């Protein structure tokens, strides 16, 4: 690790995107770190502030998500800012780019600044996979996945690590994104991943159904009739793609954080909340409560379950902490002066 403290009494570690790539968290490390943070949340050892949205205005098609949280048992507070700019592909840029700042929660001393673009993708996939670990049918064979952004790759990769699906179908709006997405997954997973031409052929009858679309406005493209009894539905698109009657089909609703249900105008179940069809009382559990053993997950094969996650700052903090630990061992990153 390069030391650039220059005699400063307080310094912090900087990990660039190249550093994060070099450190290469394994699938097992990603899942373990995020599940540990969820269990800490279930035990009441965390603070999760609902995300806020910074809108640039002026006709700009995009916004910033600001996430804030604390894991007391890990010794970190964190703030992540992630841009969400759908049209960035036209400029050859990722649609999501993020930075994570970590602090000592007892003193406020800055501890690290990390390129969190890959962290955002990995932790989202981990949250989807850990939700499925506790909520999916016992031996799911078919995965249907809508969306081909960076988080989508990690959804499919980590889900398949847990379940080794017999069939994986993916779809996104643009053929020029879904075809390479399927090809990359096929190569990395060592099995055929099929890119479908429409939502129905991707989702209909799947055991695990993930919706990570990039809609510009709410549009009910995910049809309730495609959900078979006992399936797990995981919607987390920024704009809702669900029909209102989906709540009549599911036996349980699980969320990552009840506080996020109250926050902002966005999210997969926002129209259902606004219509009075979903309330906090209707939520079976937060995923952290299930990971901590305080609430049951799936209880029988016939339960159709919906898991809505919006993303937790504590997942970002957990992966940031895991990267810092590996960086210290490997001598990766730079030490920068603060004061």
Beta bridge partners of 71: 46, 76
- For 262, phi and psi rounded to 5 degrees? -90, -5
Pairing of strands 96-103, 110-115: antiparallel
pLDDT value at position 321? 98
Q: 166's torsion region: left (phi>0), alpha (psi -120 to 50) or beta?
A: alpha
pLDDT value at position 69? 97
Q: What is the DSSP letter of 124?
A: H
**Beta-strand (E) ranges in the chain?**
2-3, 11-15, 46-54, 63-71, 76-84, 96-103, 110-115, 142-146, 167-171, 193-195, 208-211, 232-235, 252-255, 285-286, 305-308, 334-337
Token look-up 């966005």 returns 266
Token look-up 């965390």 returns 46
pLDDT value at position 2? 62
Task: List Cβ neighbours of 174 (8 Å cut-off, separation of 6 or more).
Answer: 148
Long-range residue pairs from 24-28, CB within 8 A, at least 24 positions apart, any chain:
25/122, 25/319, 25/322, 25/323, 25/326, 27/157, 27/158, 27/161
For the stretch 36-49, pLDDT in tens is 999 999 999 999 99
For the stretch 78-118, pLDDT in tens is 999 999 898 888 899 888 899 999 999 999 999 999 999 99
Give the residue from 109, 101, 117 showing the smallest Cα distance to 14: 101
Angle 193-137-235 from CA coordinates, rounded to 5°: 65
Token look-up 């937060």 returns 286
Domain 2-119+314-337 has CATH 3.40.640.10: no
H helices of 104-227, in order, are 117-135, 150-163, 175-189, 199-203
Q: Which value, to the nearest 10 degrees, does the dihedral of the CA atoms of residues 140, 189, 31, 123 take?
A: -100
pLDDT value at position 263? 66
Spatial separation of the C-alpha atoms in residues 44 and 29, rounded to whole Å? 23
pLDDT by residue for the chain (339 residues), tens digit each?
666 556 679 999 999 999 999 999 999 999 999 999 999 999 999 999 988 889 999 989 899 999 999 999 999 999 999 998 988 888 998 888 999 999 999 999 999 999 999 999 999 999 999 999 999 999 999 999 999 977 899 999 999 999 999 999 999 988 888 999 999 999 999 999 999 999 999 999 999 999 999 888 899 999 999 999 999 999 988 889 999 999 999 999 999 999 878 766 778 888 998 889 998 889 999 999 999 999 999 999 999 999 999 889 999 999 999 999 999 999 999 999 999
- At the fourth CATH level, the homologous superfamily of domain 121-311 is NAD(P)-binding Rossmann-like Domain (3.40.50.720)
Q: What is the DSSP letter of 198?
A: S
pLDDT value at position 5? 57
pLDDT value at position 3? 65
Domains of the chain, residue spans: 2-119+314-337, 121-311
Angle 150-163/27-42 helices, nearest 10 degrees?
Answer: 90
In order of 72, 231, 234, 254, 319, the CA distances from 136 in angstroms are 30, 7, 10, 12, 24
């Amino acid at each position: 690790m390069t030391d650039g403290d220059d005699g400063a009494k307080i310094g912090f570690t900087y990990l660039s995107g190249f550093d994060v790539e070099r450190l290469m968290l394994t699938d097992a490390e990603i899942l373990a770190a995020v599940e540990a943070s969820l269990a800490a949340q279930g035990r009441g050892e965390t603070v999760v502030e609902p995300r806020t949205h910074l809108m640039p205005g002026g006709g700009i098609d995009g916004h910033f998500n600001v996430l804030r949280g604390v894991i007391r048992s890990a010794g970190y507070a964190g703030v992540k800012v992630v841009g969400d700019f759908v049209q960035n592909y036209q400029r050859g840029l990722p649609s999501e780019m993020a930075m994570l700042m970590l602090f000592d929660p007892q003193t406020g001393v800055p501890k690290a600044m990390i390129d969190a673009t890959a962290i955002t993708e990995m932790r989202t996939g981990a949250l989807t996979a850990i939700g499925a670990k506790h909520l999916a049918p016992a031996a799911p064979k078919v995965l249907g996945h809508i969306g081909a952004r960076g988080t989508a790759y990690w959804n499919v990769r980590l889900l398949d690590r847990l379940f080794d699906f017999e069939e994986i179908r993916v779809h996104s709006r643009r053929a020029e994104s879904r075809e390479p997405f399927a090809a990359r997954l096929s190569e990395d997973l060592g099995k055929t991943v099929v890119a479908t031409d429409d939502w129905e052929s991707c989702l209909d009858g799947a055991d695990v159904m993930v919706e990570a679309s990039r809609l510009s406005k709410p549009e009910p493209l995910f049809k309730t009739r495609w959900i078979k009894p006992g399936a797990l539905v995981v919607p987390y698109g920024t704009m809702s793609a669900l029909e209102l009657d989906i709540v009549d089909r599911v036996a349980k609703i699980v969320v990552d954080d009840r506080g996020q249900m109250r926050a902002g105008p966005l999210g997969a179940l926002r129209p259902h909340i606004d219509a009075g069809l979903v309330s906090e009382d209707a939520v079976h559990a937060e995923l952290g409560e299930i990971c901590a053993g305080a609430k049951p997950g799936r209880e029988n094969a016939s339960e159709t379950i919906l898991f809505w996650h919006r993303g937790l700052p504590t997942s970002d903090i957990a992966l940031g902490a895991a990267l810092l630990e590996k960086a210290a061992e490997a001598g990766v990153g730079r030490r920068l002066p603060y004061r």
